[in-house]
Amino acid sequence: MDISIENSIPEELKQYQEYLQYQKNYSLYTIESYCHDIVEYLNWLKGENLSFLTVEYSDIRFYLMYLKDEKNDHNTSINRKLSSLRSFYKYLANEGKVKTNVFSFVNGPKKDKKLPRYFEYNELEELFSVPDRRTPMGQRDLLLLEMLYATGVRVGELTSIKVSDINLSLKQILILGKGNKERYVTYGEYCEDALKEYLNDGYSKLNVSDSPFLFLNQHGGVLTERGVRYILDQLIKKTEIHKNISPHMIRHSFATHLLNEGCDLLTVQKLLGHESIKATQIYTHVTTDRLKEVYYHSFPRAKR
């Protein structure tokens, strides 16, 4: 981590990092996000002359005021930080480092109601036209885009794909999802073309270390989640699209476009690897045009 408390990290936080990595099997990006939130909190405690091992509920209220009034954090950001701290203190309580998880009593602010951001079809087409397919890196980048959109996988799931996980004849990929749960995802012809081109050309040139992973960096090592985000940032700069981009935004696009084309919610849930249908319901923001189309097609007195 590049954030520290006067160049020192508590031993309990180091142990928590190891717990997340080796017992919970969280991705390095997720662990870094958790620890970033925790270190920010520890720095605030240090400024208030408080210890994270003896902090009380009344102290936490002042931390929430700090996040809201001084840092001007959005409700979503505050809730994420509370979630990180709640998990950290649950670990500390289980390990006997603290008597109780004080954050279990803390309710965060109401979540900001925001619809998932997604790309329109034409924007994705423009994005897919950017990579230079004559180069190994360009072939990899095109496959990265096509596979994110064709399967709706999370970025951590994408970077974990091994060539041996792909069934070329069935056009299916074995995905290791959250909680080490496996599922199969299917990809279509556009993704198939990009995959075959990459495997037959660019992959062999990049894979100087005989790596089992599908997505490799320029040195032949496995592409990281941060590396994927960097690639996407560079690609969108070469378009006329004035939107921020992230792997999850392409996942949003995958789900949204499926629903817009008439796919049922349960199927989308399975494809996304969601445990609960509630997590999938945020995608039911189908477009007005789609709603009109369904209405005029389904309602018996909508037209003569």
Q: Which two tokens stand for residue 283?
A: 């995608």
Q: How many CB atoms lie within 10 A of CB 38?
A: 25
DSSP β-ladder status, 182-186 and 166-167: unpaired
Residue ranges of domains in the chain: 11-105, 122-243
CATH architecture of 122-243: Orthogonal Bundle (1.10)
Q: Report which of 184, 202, 183, 205 is spatially closest to residue 144, judged by C-alpha positions.
A: 202
Tokens found for residue 231 = 């690639």
pLDDT in tens, the chain (304 residues): 444 444 578 899 999 999 999 988 888 888 998 999 999 999 999 999 999 999 998 899 899 999 988 898 888 889 999 999 999 999 999 999 998 898 988 888 876 666 788 999 999 999 999 999 999 999 999 999 999 999 999 999 999 999 999 999 999 999 988 878 899 999 999 999 999 999 999 999 999 999 999 999 999 999 999 999 999 999 999 999 999 999 999 999 999 899 888 888 899 999 999 988 888 888 876 555 566 777 777 788 777 6
Sheet holding 172-176, edge to edge: 166-167, 172-176, 182-186
Q: What residues are annotated to the active site?
A: 154, 178, 248, 251, 274, 283
Superfamily, domain 11-105: Tyrosine recombinase, N-terminal domain (1.10.150.130)
Query: pTM for the whole thing?
Result: 0.63
- Cβ–Cβ < 8 Å for 138, 127: no
Find the radius of gyration of the CA atoms of the chain.
23
